[in-house]
Structure 1
Amino acid sequence: MYQVRFLKEKNKKLNNKLKRELKTLGFNEDYLSIKYDCDKCKDSGYVNNEMCTCLKGYLKKRKNKNSILFRDGNFDNFDENLFDNDKSKYKITPRENIIKNKEQSLKFINTFKDEENTLGLLMSGKAGSGKTFLAAATGKILLNKGYSVICLTAKEFEDIIKSFNDPDLEKKKKEILDVDLLILDDLGIETQSDYVNNEILKLVDYKMTYNKKMIITTNLTLNEIREKYKSRIYSRIISNFNLLKFFGPDLRVTIKMIKNQ
């Protein structure tokens, strides 16, 4: 104990001497101290293995022009009248269906932090059926609520995990794993390989284990997902995602026709 006290006293004297020397030379006493932009996480981005508010703020400000988050999709310009209301083609009309899907998306937002809510959203439907619009609208609201959101296409995710020479690879992976909401757009367009499938499986497993939410959009049906991927991926999706089906005429064609009238 004596030796510990002796060393503490010696260290204190040395620090005081260093401060006097710095002051003599015209510097502030804390000139040699490390200056952090964020005192909470000491610029590591994480506090107790949780993403720090500074990193969440950075992710919120980072605007990738190719990200679906920064397209026009938001609930303010949601117009169910763009969807077909013909009851002769479907059990429920595309208009009734998109309203139901909007309600499910709003429920996802409102229960986002509920501990008991471990479900993500799987938005399945053909191109132009409105799933990417709804995913973007959901992500924007959560972003404005202060949650961190990252959007990646499945192909972009593949490119990241295959960038073995990227010095920031592990940092990028950690961001994707720990972000509050990950929107994985267009599942199915990535290269089919055991490596990529295993990385997708690990991604979904991590998200579900630590209750980090996901929205997955895909042109594939559940049967096509089962055929395309390993049974473990299909099983995780069935067990942990609320399925929202999208159908009806291509919305982009409908909008173009309206504009040309």
Structure 2
Amino acid sequence: MNGLTDTILKMMDTTQEPEDYKGEDGLMYCGKCHKPKEAYFPQGKELFGRDRHPSECDCRRAERERLEKKESEKKHSDEVERLKRDGFTDPAIRHWTFGNDNGNCLQIEKAHFYVEHWETMKSENIGYLLWGNVGTGKSYFAGCIANALMEQEVPVCMTNFAMILNNLFTSAEGRNEYITRLCAYPLLILDDFGMERGTEYGLEQVYNVIDSRYRSNKPLITTTNLTLEQIQHPQDTAHARIYDRLLEMCVPVCFTGGNFRRVTAQQKMHRLKKLMEGGESQ
């Protein structure tokens, strides 16, 4: 008990700095902000023979709040880093953000809408089927959603079926366990859907992932170079049951416009030509 009493008494001590002073009320005051560093117990009560206890002055409170904010920001930053390390199979996706958007994607407002209404999208199991030509910004659009949600500490997995099929073949964990883990993410994004090999085994695993995601009642976003006509009118039963699930889960969003990748390549070619001609300094 003596040890406990000593600990409590130490907690009740008020640290005095050289500039602190006693006020007319007998309490110690901070020499910087001139607010009391002590307070009396109510109604003249005492504890262990003490009639007062420590109290935060304004500058001590500001310092505590600063340290708490710093710790909170670090904790948030570490969690976002963990989510991105776990959720992206390609590190380049980290840079596909709303802040880095160059304005070329005409549909980007739909990505903003999805993030802003995430709780509704999640509760009502609403996803996107992003379709259109190569290089029109579908993957970037999906990456913006993934990064924005991760910044809110929402776990997201953005991968593709080539990676999934490879993991199913080589992973030490069982197929069901791996698919269950994929379906545990609040949002799953499948990039370049339809580019995987159309083998019987591949199509069966694609269906298993899509169907398991459907049964988990969690949203799915897919990007594909297939046309909506191809998705709505598949050529065989194997593809039909996959596409039917997708269309039930995902709202189609058409991506039109030029090939952004081709434009970027042309700009780099033009830049290199100028450098080789000596028209610009390095």
Category of TM-score, reference length = shorter chain: 0.5 to 0.7
Match of 1:66 among 54, 68, 90: 90
CA pair 198-56 structure 1, distance change in 2 beyond 3 A: farther
8 Å CA contact retained: 2:142, 2:221: yes
> Which residue is 1:79 aligned to?
102
> Which residue is 2:228 aligned to?
222
Which AA in structure 2 matches 1:158? L
Match of 2:251 among 242, 254, 258: 242
What is the CA-CA distance between 1:64 and the residue it aligns to?
5.1
Q: Does 1:167 align with 2:172?
A: yes
CA pair 106-208 structure 1, distance change in 2 beyond 3 A: farther
> Which residue is 1:7 aligned to?
none
CA pair 57-249 structure 1, distance change in 2 beyond 3 A: closer
> Which residue is 2:266 aligned to?
257
Return the alpha-carbon distance in structure 1 between the equivalents of residues 209 and 202 of structure 2: 10
Q: Which of the two has higher C-alpha Rg?
A: 2
8 Å CA contact retained: 1:68, 1:136: no
What is the CA-CA distance between 1:103 and the residue it aligns to?
2.0
8 Å CA contact retained: 2:132, 2:224: yes
> Which residue is 2:147 aligned to?
140
Which AA in structure 2 matches 1:69? I
8 Å CA contact retained: 1:111, 1:117: no
Which AA in structure 2 matches 1:131? K
Using the size of structure 2 for normalisation, the TM-score is 0.59
Percent of residue pairs identical? 22
Question: What secondary structure does 1:230 align onto?
Answer: helix
Question: What secondary structure does 1:104 align onto?
Answer: helix
CA pair 64-203 structure 1, distance change in 2 beyond 3 A: closer
Return the alpha-carbon distance in structure 1 between the equivalents of residues 126 and 190 of structure 2: 15
Return the alpha-carbon distance in structure 1 between the equivalents of residues 253 and 193 of structure 2: 15
> Which residue is 1:204 aligned to?
210
Return the alpha-carbon distance in structure 1 between the equivalents of residues 165 and 260 of structure 2: 28
8 Å CA contact retained: 2:136, 2:257: yes
8 Å CA contact retained: 1:124, 1:218: yes
Structure 2 regions of 5+ residues with no counterpart? 1-78, 272-282
Superposition misfits of 4+ residues, deviation over 6 angstroms: none
Return the alpha-carbon distance in structure 1 between the equivalents of residues 217 and 82 of structure 2: 22
Question: What secondary structure does 2:191 align onto?
Answer: strand
- 1:54-102, Cα deviation, whole Å (9 max, x unpaired): x9984444375625532x321112122x4xxxxxxxxxxxxxxx43x22
Question: What secondary structure does 2:248 align onto?
Answer: helix
Aligned length: 188
Return the alpha-carbon distance in structure 1 between the equivalents of residues 80 and 245 of structure 2: 27
Which AA in structure 2 matches 1:204? I
- 1:201-236, Cα deviation, whole Å (9 max, x unpaired): 232222233232221111111232323752111211
8 Å CA contact retained: 1:67, 1:152: no
- 1:14-50, Cα deviation, whole Å (9 max, x unpaired): xxxxxxxxxxxxxxxxxxxxxxxxxxxxxxxxxxxxx
Structure with the larger RCO, 1 or 2 (CA within 8 Å, 6+ apart) = 1
8 Å CA contact retained: 1:135, 1:215: yes
Return the alpha-carbon distance in structure 2 between the equivalents of residues 136 and 196 of structure 1: 25
8 Å CA contact retained: 2:87, 2:156: no
Match of 2:126 among 119, 128, 131: 119
8 Å CA contact retained: 2:80, 2:150: no
Return the alpha-carbon distance in structure 2 between the equivalents of residues 210 and 103 of structure 1: 28
Structure 1 regions of 5+ residues with no counterpart? 1-54, 83-97
Question: What secondary structure does 1:113 align onto?
Answer: helix
8 Å CA contact retained: 2:131, 2:255: yes
Using the size of structure 1 for normalisation, the TM-score is 0.63
Match of 1:181 among 163, 187, 190: 187
Q: Does 1:102 align with 2:111?
A: no
